[in-house]
Amino acid sequence: MNLEATIINPHLWVEKYADYLYTYALTRINDEEQAKDLVQETFLAALENIEKFQGKSSEKTWLTAILKHKIFDIYRTRVSAVNKKNYSMNSVTSQNFFQLDDGHWKIEHRPVEFAIQEPGAIENREFYHILQACLKKLPALWIAVFTMKFMDDCNTESICRELKVTTANYWVIIHRTKINLRACLQKNWL
């Protein structure tokens, strides 16, 4: 076992991990103030539970896991609030894009190739900001499912369990999210 993984030093957490944890939170919840609060809450929770740290992972991994659980709590809260309001999904639907008779793309909505030439362009800041703006337009549940699936690599079963959605509903959400993101990115990025 790596000796470094068992050493824990809370006095260095802010210096060593605050920026990383902030970026991690911001890319998942898209709210600067809430991301800052989450990092502080993560450090506080870690301090309160420091005796539970077993040294099986690095400090960074342990702190990230705590933050990840806090982000999932936010997803559940957002989804719960939306469900209480009985949210009506006012979004792009499949029938806007596909022909009813054969299910093929309508000519005006066929996907076009992204005009990305240079390697690494996906990491481009402009693209990131457009993606975040597109995500903000989605319902809270869709954002949570998309983020957990494609940013946190959670499996379907855990996403359904955490967000209390059925597997069928999960796949509908993934499908609708992809369609909406594609439409938004094609409109704003290309």
Give the pLDDT confidence of 29-40 residue by residue, as tens digits: 888 999 999 999
What's the CATH code of the domain at 116? 1.10.10.10
> Are 65 and 131 within one domain?
no
> Are 33 and 54 within one domain?
yes
3-state secondary structure of 59: helix
pLDDT of the residue at 117: 53
Nearest-5° Cα angle at 164, 168 to 45: 140
pLDDT of the residue at 106: 72
Domain count, the chain: 2
pLDDT of 1 strictly over 60: no
pLDDT of 185 strictly over 50: yes
pLDDT of the residue at 94: 53
> Are 59 and 38 within one domain?
yes
What is the mean predicted confidence (pLDDT) over 42-59?
89
**Token pair 């005006």 in the structure block, residue:** 108
Residue 116: which region, alpha, beta or left (left: phi > 0; alpha: psi -120 to 50)? beta
| Enclosing domain of residue 61 | 3-84
pTM of the model: 0.62
pLDDT of the residue at 105: 66
Q: How many CB atoms lie within 10 A of CB 34?
A: 15
pLDDT of the residue at 109: 65
pLDDT of 115 strictly over 60: no
pLDDT category at 142 given cuts 50, 70, 90 is: very high
What is the rounded average pLDDT for all residues in the chain? Answer: 80
> Are 58 and 100 within one domain?
no
CB 114 within 8 A of CB 190: yes
What's the CATH code of the domain at 58? 1.10.1740.10
pLDDT of the residue at 4: 47
In a domain, 61, yes or no: yes
> Are 52 and 102 within one domain?
no
pLDDT of the residue at 75: 86
Nearest-5° Cα angle at 156, 155 to 162: 90
pLDDT of the residue at 107: 73
* Domain termination residue (choose one: 27, 61, 84): 84
* Domain termination residue (choose one: 43, 59, 84): 84
Give the pLDDT confidence of 52-110 residue by residue, as tens digits: 888 888 889 999 999 999 998 888 887 776 655 444 444 445 556 666 676 666 777 66
* Domain termination residue (choose one: 62, 84, 106): 84
- Measured between alpha carbons, how far is 185 from 167 in angstroms, rounded to an integer? 27
